[in-house]
Amino acid sequence: MTRPTRAERLALPLGVTAIRDLTQAAGGCIRPIQVRRTNTATGEVDYQFLPCRSTLEAACPPCAERARNLRAEQCRTGWHLDTEPDLTPADPDESQEFWLTARAAAQTQRDKAAANGQDTAELDQLLAELDHELTASGVRGNLSARTSGNDSKTGKRRSRSTRRRQDAPGLPKRPLSDRTTGQVYTAPDGKTYRPSMFLTLTLDSYGKVTEDGTPADPGSYDYQRAARDAIHFPALFDRLIQNLRRYLGYDVQYFAAIEPQRRLAPHAHIAFRGAISRADLRQVIAATYHQVWWPSTETVRYSDDELPGWHEASGNYIDPITGEVLLSWDQALDSIGSADPPRHVARFGPKFDAQGVLAGSKDAGRCVRYLTKYLTKQIADCHEAGTDPQRAHAYLLTEALRYEPCSPRCANWLRYGIQPKGARPGLIPGLCKGKAHRYENLGYAGRRVLVSRKWSGKTLTDHRADRKAWLMAMLDLPATDPDTNGYRWERVAPADQDHMPLTQRLMHILADRTAWKATLAEARRRVEDLNQNPSTPDRSAA
């Protein structure tokens, strides 16, 4: 056997690249996860390949596209719903039961450790991972929110003065009904309409911007307010929904996508179920604000060359020169005087865009596409910075976010002489790991899609199951896989001996996709034959 020459080898298509392109073109995941399946009765082992399920196009285009389609499906399903969604939870299935039992055991362990004054960090991590598994298996709701709400160290909840409560904007309050569906209108010809709403909502101005989204005068553009508004955007959005429900008197449902505008401030596209008048919207938007009662960051107490040090014995941060203990988070909150203004007030801008949309109309389809258009991209990748001013604008915003505290636990508080909530060693101002500071998020650390609980009455997992059931019916296959019992499933780690390299995993995916497509094409042909030749007695015989 002669060895191929170097030139011959270079002329061959690059193995991984070529097979990845083919897999992607066939709609298969390009980062498949290898799973070892062991038959618990016989000990026989085989391998399954699961899609990575990334929502980002930069990571896996086919998975991101599937995720986007699923969101679009969810959006369409809930928008013009005319009956209340059924929210009766189904009984947990076997795998859900397994994770729930594990979750309960871990919670008991954690609470015991906390009661004995032990460190619970590791167990909290475990709880978070189990919650993740539970969500992935289709269990709804956030278990941790209900089980670890209080500060475990002190066991007491902070009470705020009533003056600082901000749930009373100048809006009339109407009696609240449980209804989540919109009103029906009857035309003179007797036809009924149930219009819904599409709203685009932006933040206030931080200074005039030009066509390309960059400030006309960068020197006077208010980057600090832009940074703070972006950080507190999720809270402001929540406030808007609460106010709308109070004002309209019914349980308004929404599907919202959060994206950056050209000027890099977050804005929201929101589909509301039911029509809401522009006048009502204007009034509620104008009355909605979110006050941030955090300590002041006016004065920089410790800049980067003289940072507070961690005092191991007392578990506090101390002044590097005097050794004085810094204010704790609670002390800092308590020292906000009753005459002090809030540290920040976030509001929406006065301009908004609202249109009524009818069920099943062309507009409805267009809006759904619009709502899901950017979901497969990171916030910062939605608008590419192509010019120097655009790059400079993005840079200045990131700089403004660098030392801006993103949460009570943010390391940046040390810069202002305050120990962050839950202080621990190793915190360095300017290097907080919070999502808001990362360039790709531009200050917005919340979720990209916000869906109210009673939107479609279904989770993404439910929508995925619906799609699978439809495919199985189309293929005349049993809806549930009879092979799921009696197996042990484990993810194969890269260090394991039987771990397959990417090329090999991709070949499995490609082969599966090809076979699957052929089966689907065959099924389509069968349906077409049946339609043309309805007298065929037994369609499975075809």
Minimum distance of Zn ion from residue 507's CB (angstroms) = 15
**Which letter does DSSP use for residue 215 in this model?**
B
Q: Token pair 């089966």 is at which residue?
A: 519
Taking the CB of residue 245, how many other CB atoms lie within 10 A of it?
Answer: 17
Nearer to Zn ion, 54 or 214 (CB): 54
Nearer to Zn ion, 31 or 37 (CB): 31
CB of 57 to Zn ion, least distance (A): 11
Cα dist from 246 to 240, 282, 349, 362, whole Å: 10, 15, 21, 32
Q: How far is CA 133 from the centre of its chain?
A: 16
Site residues (CB under 5 A) for Zn ion, limited to 260-289? none
**Minimal distance, residue 92 CB to Zn ion, in Å:** 27
**Half-sphere exposure (Cβ direction) of 176: Cα atoms closer than 13 Å:** 11
Q: How far is CA 214 from CA 218, 219, 324, 440, in A?
A: 8, 12, 45, 18
Which of residues 209 and 410 has its CB atom nearest to Zn ion in the complex?
410
Q: What is the DSSP letter of 292?
A: E
CB of 410 to Zn ion, least distance (A): 3
Closer residue to Zn ion (CB): 29 or 256: 29
Determine how many CB atoms are found less than 10 A away from the CB of residue 122.
11
Closer Cβ to Zn ion, 231 or 276, answer by number: 231
List phi, psi (to 5°) of 311.
-100, 100
C-beta neighbour count of 221 within 10 angstroms: 22
CB nearer Zn ion, residue 52 or residue 471: 52
Q: Is 410 in the site for Zn ion (CB under 5 A)?
A: yes
Amino acid at 302: Y
Among 326, 406, 427, 445, binds Zn ion (CB under 5 A): 406
Here's the x/- map for Zn ion, 414-443, by CB under 5 A: it reads as ------------------x-x---------
CB of 478 to Zn ion, least distance (A): 26
Binding to Zn ion, residues 25-84 (CB under 5 A): 29, 31, 51-52, 60, 63
Is residue 214 within 8 Å of residue 393, measured between CB atoms?
yes
Min CB(484)–Zn ion separation in Å: 22
Residue 396: partners with Cβ closer than 8 Å, 6 or more residues away: 218, 221, 223
Residue 308 has which token pair? 């507070």
To the nearest whole angstrom, how small is the minimum distance from the Cβ of residue 134 to Zn ion? 22
Helix (H, G, I), strand (E, B) or coil at 489: strand
Which listed range, 21-29, 117-125, 167-175, 338-346, lies at the site for Zn ion (CB under 5 A)?
21-29
C-beta of residue 487 within 8 angstroms of C-beta of residue 38: yes
Touching Zn ion, residues 448-477 (CB under 5 A) = none
Question: What is the nearest approach in angstroms of Zn ion to the Cβ of residue 32?
Answer: 7
Instruction: Write out the E strands in 58-191.
Output: 185-186
**Residue range at the interface with Zn ion (CB under 5 A); choices 238-246, 375-383, 400-408, 473-481:** 400-408
Smallest distance from Zn ion to CB 432, Å = 3
- Measured from the CB atom, is 31 or 526 closer to Zn ion? 31
Q: What are the C-alpha distances in Å from 88 to residues 134, 283, 454, 458, 493?
A: 18, 35, 11, 11, 38
Structure tokens at 28: 């298969």
Name which of 30 and 368 has its Cβ closer to Zn ion: 30
User: 60 or 275, CB closer to Zn ion?
Assistant: 60
Q: How many CB atoms lie within 10 A of CB 365?
A: 13
- Closer to Zn ion by CB, 52 or 358: give it: 52
In the complex, what is the shortest distance from the CB of residue 34 to Zn ion, in angstroms, rounded to a whole number?
13
Nearer to Zn ion, 256 or 436 (CB): 436
Number of residues that bind Zn ion (CB under 5 A): 10
DSSP secondary structure string for all residues of 420-477? PTT--TT--TT----GGGSGGGTT--S-SEEE-TTSSS--HHHHHHHHHHHHHHHTT-
Of the pair 248, 406, the CB lying nearest Zn ion is at 406
Least distance to Zn ion from the beta carbon of 185, Å?
44
> How many CB atoms lie under 10 A from the CB of residue 247?
20
- Shortest reach from residue 469's CB to Zn ion, in Å: 22
Find the part of the chain contacting Zn ion (CB under 5 A) among 201-209, 350-358, 371-379, 404-412. 404-412
Q: Which residues bind Zn ion (CB under 5 A)?
A: 29, 31, 51-52, 60, 63, 406, 410, 432, 434
